Each structure stands twice: as C-alpha cells, then as structure tokens.
Amino acid sequence: MSETAASETASVETRVNAYFVAGGKWHDIDYARLELMKLLAEHPHVKVQVAANYDDIEAISATDMLISYTCDVRPNEASQQAIRTWVENGGRWVALHGTNSALDLPRPNGVESPRCFPLWAETLGSQFVAHPPIALYPVEIADPNHWLVEGIEPFETDDELYLMEYHDRDQLQVQLHTHWSGDCGGFEERDWSVETRGTDEHLIQYVRPLGEGAVLYNTLGHCRSHWDMVPLADYYPTTERCSWEKPQYHELLRRAIRWGLGHDS
C-alpha cells in the first residue's frame, strides 16, 4: 500500500450507529426532529435509526450513541433499566429538553409533574417539575474551561426555563446555568422562591457520569407550532422557536453530538 493510500485509509471514519428518539406531546416534534437530523447529517459516517419511543430495547442496547428529544414520553420499566445498563456499560446519551418530563394536564390546580419514573429521573440526573412563562432569561457559563462551552459567550434566550429536581446533584458536571426565583402560575408546584427551594440556581446543561458512560442533558430547545396543543386546543395562536433561533444553541448541539460520538474535545 502506498503512503498516500495508507493515509487515506487511516482517515476513513468507522460507521457509528445512532438511535434517535423524537416524540411526545405539546411540542413541534417534527421541527425538532428535522433540525437535529440536519446536525447529525454533518457526520456522514453516523447512521441514524429514528423512533418515537424507547420500546425497542434490543436496538437501543446495540447502538453506539443515543439522542432524545421528547416530552411526556414515559418508558416502561424494562426500557428504563435497559438504557441505564447501556449507559453504565459505556454508552453516551444526549438528552434534550423534555426527555425528563412527565406531565398530567389539565388539572384543577395546574399542570402536575408526577414522580412516576424514579429510575429514569435518577439515570438522567433530574426530573422536570415546572417552568415560568416563556420569557427572556440569561444563559450563564458555569464552567468556561469545559470544551462543551469554551468560547461561547453568555447569551439571552426566550425559552422554557426548566425548574427541576436533581439526583446526585454533587456528581453533575455543570456547564450552563441560570438564576431565577418566583411563581410558576399554571403549574401545581408553583412556588419557586429562594425561601422555599433554598436556591435560585437552575441547571441548563450538565454531564451526569454513570458507570463507564454518561448522560449529557440540555434543557433548552422548546418549540411549538399551531397544531401541537390538540386536544387541549385545535389551534395554537403563535409559533415558538425559542433557542432554535440562537446560533449559540446550534453550537451547543454540535458539540453535544461530538460528545455523544465519543469525543472529549
């Protein structure tokens, strides 16, 4: 083999199998799926299998990378355990936006967030509880030296500010956070004052190590179009794209995908 041919062979990427779960309620899943597939397509060696839920345990367990954008998708216990085992054995899972959410609505006292999948929440490192009305808030860099956020300046976004319960909080490696306290009208658990919660810090992106693998969670990326609130409403009056319109978010996603593919810089 010539030196040129050897160099070309060495540069050839090995095929990577990715499993992408995009599904759920109250969001424009079609839009998020398309945007994420565009980013995944920047890596031609990555072959993507797409599903709307986590039921295909065999396929997920055999994948090299898992990525999810869901809302109120509640995996069964077998899927929860299989995915946890896959992560512990070295898998990398890029979990986005509502992956950690379970929502019951409508309810007399507002949207409820039932603690119905403790293993799922513990694996992810968090569970969504509530968010204030969509409004601008600052995305602050918690660890500017970490390659996942290095060089990205703090920015403002009009997105759902996720207020969550954390698992193994001291083990979470936080890259992005913000500070907020107040009232979440529309949710049953509406009091998010410092006096009640003990802090006004809320995580936006973190890595949750687990065994030989890890989960990267980013809460940004809400999106909704006119027909995504059925059956609660036949037509939603506005189109919401939120952080999807921010170049910083696309850069964060690109780096998250690289992380999911096994890169550490």
What domains can be seen in the chain, in order of their start residue? 3-128+169-176+203-260 (3.40.50)
pLDDT at 8 over 70: no
Residue 12: predicted pLDDT = 65
Angle between helices 29-40 and 247-260 (to 10 degrees): 60
pLDDT at 27 over 80: yes
Residue 121: predicted pLDDT = 98
pLDDT digits (tens, 9 = 90+) for 127-147: 999 999 999 999 999 999 999
CA dist., res. 250 & res. 244, Å (int): 7
pLDDT digits (tens, 9 = 90+) for 91-120: 999 999 999 999 999 999 999 999 999 999
Contact between residue 66 and residue 93 where contact means Cβ atoms under 8 Å apart = yes
Q: Work out the mean pLDDT of the chain and round it to a whole number.
A: 95
pLDDT digits (tens, 9 = 90+) for 197-232: 999 999 999 999 999 999 999 999 999 999 999 999
